[in-house]
Amino acid sequence: MELKYFYTLEWSPAVTDIRGQYPLPLDQTLEIAGRLQIKHPTDPKTKEAAVMTTDFVIDVRTAGGTELRARTVKMAKDLNSRRALEKLEIERTWWQEQGMDWGIVTENEIPEPLAANVRWVHKARDLSSAPDISPHILGQIEHGLSKQMERRRNPLPQAALAVDEQLGLEPGSSLWVVRHLIANRYWLVDMNTVIDTGKPLAVTRSYMNINQAGDSA
């Protein structure tokens, strides 16, 4: 679930930085636990006090500047546990005393289709990980794919394979480019509906020049 939440954060244009498993100062959380009369978490092996962490610390761009927000990811059912709530109270108190926005994210706040789509395109974001695709050939592939998408007759893999054959590319190259184009928002699709690779894909081309996009990737 943390990975799914990471994908939703990564997709948000307002999020400028994501840090995972942010450690809280042990001496301070121990003091808070003592003050609240709550048992501090311990290492199950050593029985020593364990460093507490917050799942995500996020920089968010707002109208007033950049805000720091802390988020802990939990299954909704776990919030019924008294012990889980005690540990969360230590964490909440620490962030409150820093004057920071802290909150809990459950599976109910994570859009599954968006997380699934970002997961599919995630590894294709950087052109350097492409299967022998240069910025120049990227533009040719995008042009051929756009023609295929306009027709909307073939499922996505078949349309991509047709472009591979036209340009003499290794099978799968154009499908990788589809993911790259979506990941970098050169192609705009409905990310809140799971992309079905068994069907044609409806896309809108952004105004960014695709060759410039390849140069900057």
Alpha-carbon dihedral 203, 204, 205, 208, rounded to 10 degrees: -130
Query: Binning pLDDT at 50, 70 and 90, where does residue 217 land?
Result: very low
Separation of alpha carbons 169 and 134, rounded Å: 12
pLDDT, position 130: 75
For residue 67, pLDDT over 90 is answered with yes
Residues of the chain with CATH 3.40.1350.10: 2-109
Query: Binning pLDDT at 50, 70 and 90, where does residue 210 land?
Result: low
CATH 3.40.1350.10 at 2-109, yes or no: yes
- Average pLDDT over the chain reads 90
pLDDT, position 90: 98
The alpha carbon of residue 210 and the mean position of all alpha carbons in its chain are separated, in whole angstroms, by 23
Residues of the chain with CATH 1.10.10.10: 124-216
For residue 166, pLDDT over 80 is answered with yes
pLDDT, position 91: 98
pLDDT, position 203: 87
One-letter amino acid for residue 164 of the chain: D
- Report, as an integer, the average pLDDT of 137-155: 85
Any idea which fold 124-216 has?
Arc Repressor Mutant, subunit A (1.10.10)
